[in-house]
Structure 1
Amino acid sequence: MPSEHKPLIDPFGRAISYLRVSVTDRCDLRCVYCMQENMVFLPRDELLTFEELERLGRIFIRLGTKKLRITGGEPLVRRDVMRLIDTLGQELGANGLAELTLTTNGSQLTRHAAGLAAAGVRRINVSLDTLDADRFRAVTRGGRLQQTLDGLEAARAAGLRVKINTVALRDVNEDEFDDLIAWCGRQGFDLCLIETMPLGETGEDRVNQYLPLSLVRARLQHRWTLARDDTPGLEGVAPGPARYWRVAETGQRIGFITPLTEHFCDSCNRVRLTCTGTLFLCLGQDDQADLRTPLRDGATDVEMEAIIRAAVARKPKAHDFIIDREQPTTKIARHMSMTGG
């Protein structure tokens, strides 16, 4: 790698090799832990164009990004988003990008799964918090479970590997984790349980929602044989936030993302670019850099690289998420759909 494109290193020696790019704050669901029921979405002219997203993606790849994840909101509801995914897919391999992937709620996969595979996407994360249709409708405020299940079948038919992301919600889906493990085993999917995070006001009580995954894992070990699985990820890309166990009875993996009970900040290798061009250096802090303004003011690629390097040089050591009765208000005002899931 040329010296002028030396890797992005933050103040704590962590190489930044993973970029999550939100392409829209819009979503066709209204999950109770993610957003309010009646959301006001951004004006479309505030969103980065596909050309701007493509340019920033290429700059980050030159700066050492090995993994690029497309997120939202629900990324597949943005019109013509496959054009962006096709273009970024051309960066795979020789140009340095090792993986292009996507997080989705699955509602649009029947239309787009084959196109994702053709663009070079090999695996996706699909958000699914329950296998009960009525409960799904309540958690998503109106969603249809069968639409997501049909999308998952389309993903399988397209040859995409699937990981199911499930937010653990006290008194909502905590009685389903055994069923989800068994179902994922039959489907050939990995499962990842996630602690709810205090991002944005959703109209719900965060304290009542919060379920520590340390407790969940202890419960699961009474029924399932779990063995730590530290299989390395992509070459040159540090492990993500999940800690994985292999489930002996199914052969699949279960991961735990624990930002509150056991944070994973020491190995953080990622930054997030919002659909408006704001670069967030930490999901749980407000450290940010505006990339849209210089981009639209005519900054060269060299100037944009300098702005990105200066931002990464301010990346904080860790988040400070907390959910408790003494601090019931949400510290981070922005919704997950705005930052990019």
Structure 2
Amino acid sequence: MTLIDKFGRKHDYLRLSITDKCSLRCVYCMPEEGLEFFPDDKVLSGEEIIQLVENFAKLGIEKVRITGGEPLMRHDILDIIRGINAIPGIKDIALTTNGLALKRMAGDLYEAGVKRINISLDTFKPEKYREITRGGNIRQVIAGLEVASQFPFELKMNCVVIAGQNADEVVDFLQYSIEHPVNVRFIEFMPIGHNSDRDQKLWQDNYKGIESVFDICQEKGWEYEPIGIPGNGPSENFQIKGGQGSFGLIHPVSCQFCESCNRLRVTADGALKSCLYWDDEDNVREVLNDFEAFEALIQKSLNGKPENHEMALAENEKNEFQKPTWRHMSQIGG
């Protein structure tokens, strides 16, 4: 079976959050005061997660990305991955992590079935890393990245570009892509969970488009060319001539990619979101053990999926029928 929405988009990719908890408090992901995490009984259990993916596999989902919060904070993470890896039809398991636990877990993750890892890293400067993450230790991340690179993962590095914080380091990340076999992905700061006037101003003041990456390449005399790389995300990828790695641009605000969206999202508390940005969601936890009801609910959600998220603020003002999600990024899973 194939999951197709009313705009003809085929969906074969599930982004699955398994916890809203995180060991960091990144400025673009959580408010400064932090968030009240879901109680344990509100979060999908390991058994429910595996059943959920089994159901989706029957509907044509082939690729799963495990997200959070920080997924490696779950004590049963390896059991979850092994269970998903054993499901017929699942061809690819990826993981997004802050990297703090990778040094001790990389080998086990590979053995369990993870093929690709995205590591969130927004600066190479220890002090700035503590500022952006509100207390994180970058040395742990670098150590985890070094250990993970010893295994045949496809490694990507996610960098959210924020004006006044790390935009001046784009050149350093490009240099890293030349010297290391990693795909460095520059991501625009998105207005997710920024619904108050204060939050909207914060986003507007800190938003920076990422087209300047090309200007930097030209200034440095770096020749680059578009390339294709394995994966399911919306990045446009390039490689600097002579580089070991590559870089990608993900620009949901300035240049939208919704026409090719192939993904569904499920939050840690079992809410299906067909679109990252809008408030619409359906509770799939209630129908996990009734496949016909599950299938009907998924199709209902797809039928209501908008053609475009209209994330840019100017577009939001034009939309009278939907409102942005109340969830912060840590509660959605990206």
TM over 0.5: yes
* 1:1-36: CA deviation from partner (whole Å, max 9, x where unpaired): xxxxx2100110011011000000010000001102
The residue aligned with 2:157 is 164
1:109 and 1:77, CA in 2 relative to 1: closer, same or farther beyond 3 A? same
1:294 and 1:35, CA in 2 relative to 1: closer, same or farther beyond 3 A? same
Aligned length: 322
The residue aligned with 2:56 is 60
Contact 1:271/1:282, CA 8 A, preserved across alignment:
yes
Matching residue within 226, 247, 258 for 1:254 = 247
SS of the aligned residue for 1:157 comes to coil
Q: Give the CA deviation at 1:323.
A: 4.2
TM normalised by structure 1 equals 0.89
How far apart are the structure 2 equivalents of 1:206 and 1:87? 39
How far apart are the structure 2 equivalents of 1:212 and 1:323? 14
How far apart are the structure 2 equivalents of 1:174 and 1:220? 14
The residue aligned with 2:225 is 227
The gaps in structure 2 that reach 5 residues or longer are 318-322
How far apart are the structure 2 equivalents of 1:184 and 1:137? 23
Contact 1:35/1:201, CA 8 A, preserved across alignment:
no
User: Residue 210 in 1 paired to residue 207 in 2?
Assistant: yes
1:212 and 1:339, CA in 2 relative to 1: closer, same or farther beyond 3 A? same
The correspondence of residues 69-108 of structure 1 with structure 2, limited to 5 A, is 69-91=65-87, 95-108=88-101
SS of the aligned residue for 2:135 comes to coil
SS of the aligned residue for 2:141 comes to helix
Matching residue within 6, 10, 27 for 1:11 = 6
* 1:280-309: CA deviation from partner (whole Å, max 9, x where unpaired): 0001112211112233xxx42232122212
The residue aligned with 1:117 is 110
Counterpart of 1:78, as a letter, is R
**Identity across matched positions, percent:** 38
The residue aligned with 1:129 is 122
Contact 2:182/2:244, CA 8 A, preserved across alignment:
no
How far apart are the structure 1 equivalents of 2:247 and 2:299? 35
Contact 2:279/2:326, CA 8 A, preserved across alignment:
no
User: Residue 316 in 1 paired to residue 309 in 2?
Assistant: no
User: Residue 27 in 1 paired to residue 22 in 2?
Assistant: yes
RMSD: 1.9
Q: Give the CA deviation at 1:242.
A: 0.5
Contact 2:191/2:311, CA 8 A, preserved across alignment:
yes
The residue aligned with 2:259 is 266
The residue aligned with 1:180 is 173
Out of 277-286 and 243-252, give the one that drifted further.
243-252
The residue aligned with 2:320 is none
Contact 2:5/2:303, CA 8 A, preserved across alignment:
yes
Q: Give the CA deviation at 1:232.
A: 6.1
